[in-house]
Amino acid sequence: MSPQPVVDIRGLHVRFGEVEAVAGIDLQAYAGQATALLGRNGAGKSTTMRVLAGLVPPTAGTVEVDGLDIGRHTLAVKQMTGYCPDVGGLVPRATPWEHLQLSAKLRRLDSWEDRARDLLERFELGGVAHRITGGFSHGMGRRLSVVLAALHEPRLLLLDEPFDGVDPIGVEATMDVIADARARGACTMVSTHLRELAIQACGEVLVLRGGSRVATVGAAEMAGEEGARAYRALLD
Amino acid sequence: MPTGLSSTSAASPAALHPTSIQAARRAVADVAHLVRFRVGTVRRRRALRIAVGILVGITVAVCTVPMALPDTRSNDVLIVMPTAFAAFLLLNIVSGVASGGGRELLSREQGVAYPVSPTTDHLGALLMAPLNIAWLLQAWTILGSAAYALPASAVPAALITCLLWFVVSTSAAQVVAWTMEAIRRRAHGRWVVRALVGACAAGAAYLQLTDQLIDFLDRLPTLWLVARSLDGFTASWLTGVGFELVVIAATVVLGAVPAHLAAKLPSRDEAKVEGGAYPVRRMPRTVVGMLASIDRASVWRSVPMRRGITVLAVGPGIVAILGNMSWTNMTILPGLVASGGALLFGVNAWCLDGRGLLWRENLPALPGQVFAARALVLAEFVLAASLVTLVMASLRAGVPSASELAAMLMLVLVVTLQVLAAALRWSAQRPFPVDMRSARATPAPPVVMVGYSARLALSTTFTGLLFSTLSRFPDWRLSLLFAVPLLAWSGFRFARTARRWQDPVERSRVVMAVAS
């Protein structure tokens, strides 16, 4: 008997007025696995992530997280997801610690402070924990977004462009967060344009084009020069 | 729109180091480019045309209709004209200084990729100044007063003087605003500015306490200008107009100097907010409390909101003290202050989170809790400002009668709920992605802000006049009686907006717009 997927998307469509951002995606992702979403700008990666995070309701299709329909159990799904949005994702005049307090309060976390401090140190944000995020660099903001997504050890970790503009230390810390999530049996989805990092972090790669899935391949098949050529061919 | 040189362009020394004249010409041309860009980004063209038509229509009406009214108090109106001219200048100065040099033609975030010079910025701020309901209302009042108080043959000349005065006031205020901003950005500059503002307030208090205020107003230099505009197109009028034109030319050019000085320095207010460490606060016990605590931080750590609310709360309070307002007349204040408070961020309330709204929407909070927290913080914000104004105004107004007190309390409740309901409704209907870091930022585009402020001013002024009338009746229960339907109506509109916020599609639209 095959295991139940943590993420089960069937026939997902998302329309914004005339624009169809996602045009019929089917996707399953499992516990203990990390799946990368690759594709060009406008392929539907971030919209799919936003649907899974409970931000954008599907126009059509079914989306289940851990067996719960996202439309009917939005709050429960938000409870079990950790989301790093592709842009910003930080309240500009709140401090990192206040972001963590808010997340902990709404997720009813107890004794979260030590883990929060540890994550901030791992991402080299301990020194700015009490400064407002409006003054942060892009990379600092990205790193904090990953910390916020990982704080409550979510069942589903959604990282949208977590490596964008991040320095090597931040990339390494993000890789550790993904590895930790896999080790404790969480399902991780990473959307990125950085193929090599996606391959390094994930076991499976989904390539999206024009709002649809065009391929699902093992990460190893996307590696090296050969993988780059194969990826390029899938984009055109 | 001009950008940097392309790789194929020859970078001539003349292009890189233009003379002052060339730079000025380029700045003027760039203003035209930016205006075209701004107009081009307006999605609702028809609404823009209607809005411009309404503004022009009202202006024409205030210049002509009063001429047909019976001439019973023209002398009274003429006597206060020099004071009205000076008040217009003062309003522009306060507005310009509070907004750190005036509104931006192109926001800092949008303009960062373009070589927009401080001169262009200065000229853009001059163009944007009239797109402000306080500016428009005062201008219309002055134009209408001139049209009413003077014989028809003298009106055209007087109107020209008035219109030029509006430009004089705006451009002169801009010089003061940029100068204050340049001072504020230097070491200890914020204290210098505070000392200057304090000195002005102390001067006004001295004049008031020593009964010299009326004499002072009677000796205002604006009297010279008004006196030259009363007899039509005469040589005397020409002198006044000539003087105005000279001042306009001088101040428009002069304003570029402090604008350049200010542009060379970073904003200390923003640096203080962004570079400062904030001590850890205890977590509130409830979810709404926690959400509200983050929202409060977003409001009170924002330079434009903090500065704006201070001016809004204290300014009318000082006017009430100087003008010796009675409790009956004070009913105009809560609506004015509450509307102004909502215009600082409430009309686009979700912009407080910026792109952080994407993350916040993933948090497991009920939509109703999120809405309640935002509404609570907005209500606190406008109520706090209204109460500061009223406490200040009450210092001279004495002890109110039961009717006056009941009318004022009910009025504060009604206008707060009116403003809250309208602001949150507009926030959901038309969300805008805005970065509220800069003192010059506004929560919505200028023309939209004019529309919002006009609608708020209309409804809250009407409510103020109603309760002003009620405060004259001996039975204080009348105010309660009239407040109930008004509260019910605003409460219904508020609840309807709260219900709409429950809809995930509607919420998603707002989140995506604010975070775009």
B246-298, pLDDT tens digit by residue?
999 999 999 999 999 998 888 888 888 888 888 888 889 999 999 999 999 99
In this prediction, residue A1 carries a pLDDT of 53
Q: Please give the structure tokens belonging to residue A210.
A: 């024009």
Domain boundaries defined on chain B: 23-265, 287-514
Best residue in A77, A86, A93 for a mutation probing chain B (most B CBs within 10 Å): A93
Range of the domain at A154: 7-235
pLDDT score of B179 more than 90 = yes
Chain A neighbors of B294, CB-CB under 8 A: 91, 94, 98, 102
Give tens-digit pLDDT for B412-430.
999 999 999 999 999 999 9
In this prediction, residue B3 carries a pLDDT of 42
In this prediction, residue B258 carries a pLDDT of 94
Record: contact A57-B508, CB cut-off 8 A: yes
Q: Is residue A2 part of a domain?
A: no
* pTM (2 d.p.): 0.85
In this prediction, residue B279 carries a pLDDT of 87
Helical residues (DSSP H) of B211-282, grouped into ranges: 213-218, 222-227, 235-263, 268-275
pLDDT score of B2 more than 80 = no
How many domains is chain A partitioned into structurally?
1
Q: How far apart are CA A219 and CA A194, in angstroms?
A: 13
Share of residues in chain A with pLDDT > 90 (%): 72
pLDDT score of B9 more than 90 = no
* Sign for the pseudo-dihedral over CA of B361, B365, B368, B370: negative
Share of residues in chain B with pLDDT > 70 (%): 97
Give tens-digit pLDDT for A33-92.
999 999 988 889 999 999 999 999 999 999 999 999 999 999 999 999 999 998 878 999
Give tens-digit pLDDT for A190-231.
999 888 899 999 999 999 998 888 888 888 888 888 888 888
Q: How far apart are CA A140 and CA B89, in angstroms?
A: 45
Give tens-digit pLDDT for B311-331.
889 888 888 888 888 898 899
What ipTM was assigned to the predicted interfaces of this complex? Answer: 0.91
In this prediction, residue B1 carries a pLDDT of 36
Q: How far apart are CA A109 and CA A113, in angstroms?
A: 9
In this prediction, residue B90 carries a pLDDT of 93
Pick from B281, B298, B363: CB nearest A106: B363
Give the residue, A179 or B204, on which the prediction is more confident: A179
Q: Is residue A1 part of a domain?
A: no
Record: contact A93-B435, CB cut-off 8 A: no
pLDDT score of B7 more than 50 = no
pLDDT score of B13 more than 80 = no
Give the residue, A2 or B419, on which the prediction is more confident: B419
Chain B neighbors of A98, CB-CB under 8 A: 278, 281, 293-294, 297
Buried b (16+ CB within 10 A) or exposed e, B146-168: bbbbbeeebbebbbbbbbbbbbb
Chain A neighbors of B293, CB-CB under 8 A: 98
The confidence band for B437, taking pLDDT boundaries of 50, 70 and 90, is confident
In this prediction, residue B307 carries a pLDDT of 87
In this prediction, residue B17 carries a pLDDT of 65
Q: Tell me how close the Cα of B377 comes to any Cα of chain A, in angstroms.
A: 15
Query: Which range, of B96-105, B326-335, B401-410, B506-515, averages the lowest pLDDT?
Result: B96-105
pLDDT score of B110 more than 80 = no
Q: What CATH number corresponds to the domain at position A103?
A: 3.40.50.300
Q: How far apart are CA B329 and CA B124, in angstroms?
A: 37
Q: How far apart are CA B9 and CA B11, in angstroms?
A: 6
pLDDT score of B182 more than 90 = yes
Residue A189, CB-side half-sphere exposure with 13 Å CA sphere? 33
In this prediction, residue B239 carries a pLDDT of 94
Residue B115 CA: distances (Å) to CA of A207, B6, B139, B260, B263: 39, 13, 34, 14, 13
Q: How many C-beta atoms surround the C-beta of residue B185 within 10 A?
A: 22
Record: contact A53-B301, CB cut-off 8 A: no
Give the residue, A106 or B76, on which the prediction is more confident: A106
Share of residues in chain B with pLDDT > 90 (%): 53
Q: How far apart are CA A14 and CA A45, in angstroms?
A: 12
Interface residue A21 vs chain B (CB under 8 A):
no
Give tens-digit pLDDT for B82-109.
999 999 999 999 989 988 888 888 877 7
Coil, helix or strand for B107? coil
In sequence order, which residues have a C-beta less than 8 Å from that of residue B167 and are 6 or more positions away? B244, B248
Best residue in A91, A131, A144, A155 for a mutation probing chain B (most B CBs within 10 Å): A91
The confidence band for B14, taking pLDDT boundaries of 50, 70 and 90, is low
Please spell the DSSP secondary structure of B265-276, one letter per residue: S--HHHHHHHHS
